[in-house]
């Protein structure tokens, strides 16, 4: 399954190269692959292994010690099927078939100092890469109309590693088509690194020109996907593509486990926007006000999705 999504070098974009092609891609699709991000394939794999080892070997007590009791918190460990993107987006009742570890700038819950050292370094590097990506997207859009750009990008990021195990019989695609429901991210930009399924199954798909396009793992790259803040600060020019994580069919369950490491570059909770404009850009904002803040928004229907009140 080949993706039609193009690849750009983040280092080249940051030097002002490829602006026209990048502008075309981001205003049409809002998603691309990136190389030269300053975070290597081995960096991603090392952090991923550190987390999945904990998922596999951590005791129930160790997991409980880093599990937050606040449901909106995006910190520490979250168990298999503890969350449901389908429920918070009103698209179904099924759970997310994944377990995860999340961290942000502060209030973190690390299982050990060794884990913390690996993840803090990984977080810092991904944070810089995602800020550079957002800068490139918003500059290339030619229509940035928001707060001071450095201020917008220095806010409330969240990094989350999800492990999607081989799906059991009752979660095969014939019964529950998805591991995670369709949604757009509540971020400015999101960077995603995936490990591929051993059996070649491709789970991640994003909507481009009305069609769900597969986004396979491409070695040495990350997927850059614009979130809901991108249209809000570009007068709707840059879309926030909907995406979902599909389940393999009954015959493809074996070898279908995978991981995704996702860095959400999120604005401060006091970032404000026009509600009618947000609706005109296709965003699902149910707030009854002319102007709302990001904090108001994540406090309503999307409260448990990709959101934390730090």
Q: What residues are labeled active site?
A: 74
Nearest approach in angstroms of CB 116 to Fe ion is 25
Q: Which positions touch Fe ion (CB under 5 A)?
A: 185
- For 51, counting Cβ atoms within 10 Å of its Cβ (0-12 exposed, 13-18 middle, 19+ buried), the class is buried
Pairing label, strands 7-9, 31-35: parallel
Nearest approach in angstroms of CB 5 to Fe ion is 15
From CA 78, how far away is CA 261, in angstroms rounded?
14
User: 23 or 162, CB closer to Fe ion?
Assistant: 162
User: 132 or 185, CB closer to Fe ion?
Assistant: 185
Nearest approach in angstroms of CB 165 to Fe ion is 19
- Name, in order, each residue with C-beta under 8 angstroms of 147's C-beta and a sequence gap of 6 or more: 271
Tokens 């995602």 belong to which residue?
130
Beta bridge partners of 159: 103, 263
From CA 119, how far away is CA 160, in angstroms rounded?
11
User: 27 or 98, CB closer to Fe ion?
Assistant: 98
C-beta neighbour count of 210 within 10 angstroms: 5
- Name, in order, each residue with C-beta under 8 angstroms of 148's C-beta and a sequence gap of 6 or more: none
Give the residue nearest to Fe ion (CB). 185
- For 243, counting Cβ atoms within 10 Å of its Cβ (0-12 exposed, 13-18 middle, 19+ buried), the class is buried
User: 156 or 185, CB closer to Fe ion?
Assistant: 185
Nearest approach in angstroms of CB 105 to Fe ion is 20
Nearest approach in angstroms of CB 86 to Fe ion is 13
- The 3-state DSSP class for residue 294 equals helix
Angle between helices 113-141 and 41-57 (to 10 degrees): 130
Yes or no: say if 187 and 238 are a contact pair by the CB < 8 Å rule: no
User: 23 or 247, CB closer to Fe ion?
Assistant: 247
């Amino acid at each position: 399954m080949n993706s039609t999504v193009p690849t750009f070098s983040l280092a080249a974009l940051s030097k002002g190269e490829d602006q026209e092609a990048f502008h075309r891609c981001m205003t049409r699709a809002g998603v691309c692959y990136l190389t030269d991000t300053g975070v290597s394939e081995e960096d991603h794999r090392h952090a991923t292994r550190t987390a999945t080892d904990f998922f596999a070997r951590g005791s129930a007590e160790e997991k409980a010690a880093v599990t937050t009791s606040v449901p909106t918190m995006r910190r520490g460990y979250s168990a298999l099927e503890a969350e449901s993107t389908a429920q918070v987006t009103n698209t179904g009742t099924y759970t997310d078939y994944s377990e995860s570890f999340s961290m942000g700038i502060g209030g973190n819950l690390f299982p050990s100092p060794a884990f913390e050292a690996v993840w803090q370094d990984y977080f810092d590097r991904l944070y810089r890469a995602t800020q550079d990506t957002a800068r490139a997207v918003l500059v290339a859009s030619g229509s940035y109309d928001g707060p001071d750009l450095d201020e917008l990008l220095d806010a409330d990021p969240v990094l989350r590693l999800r492990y999607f195990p081989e799906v059991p019989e009752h979660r095969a695609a014939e019964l529950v088509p998805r591991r995670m429901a369709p949604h757009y991210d509540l971020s400015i930009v999101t960077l995603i690194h995936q490990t591929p399924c051993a059996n070649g199954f491709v789970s991640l798909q994003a909507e481009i020109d009305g069609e769900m396009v597969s986004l396979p793992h491409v070695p040495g790259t990350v997927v850059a996907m614009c979130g809901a803040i991108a249209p809000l600060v570009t007068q709707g020019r840059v879309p926030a593509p909907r995406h979902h994580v599909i389940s393999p069919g009954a015959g493809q369950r074996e070898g279908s486990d995978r991981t995704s490491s996702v860095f959400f570059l999120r604005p401060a909770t006091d970032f404000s926007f026009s509600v009618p404009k947000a609706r005109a850009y296709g965003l699902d904002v149910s707030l009854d006000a002319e102007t709302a803040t990001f904090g108001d928004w994540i406090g309503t229907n999307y409260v448990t999705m990709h959101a934390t009140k730090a």
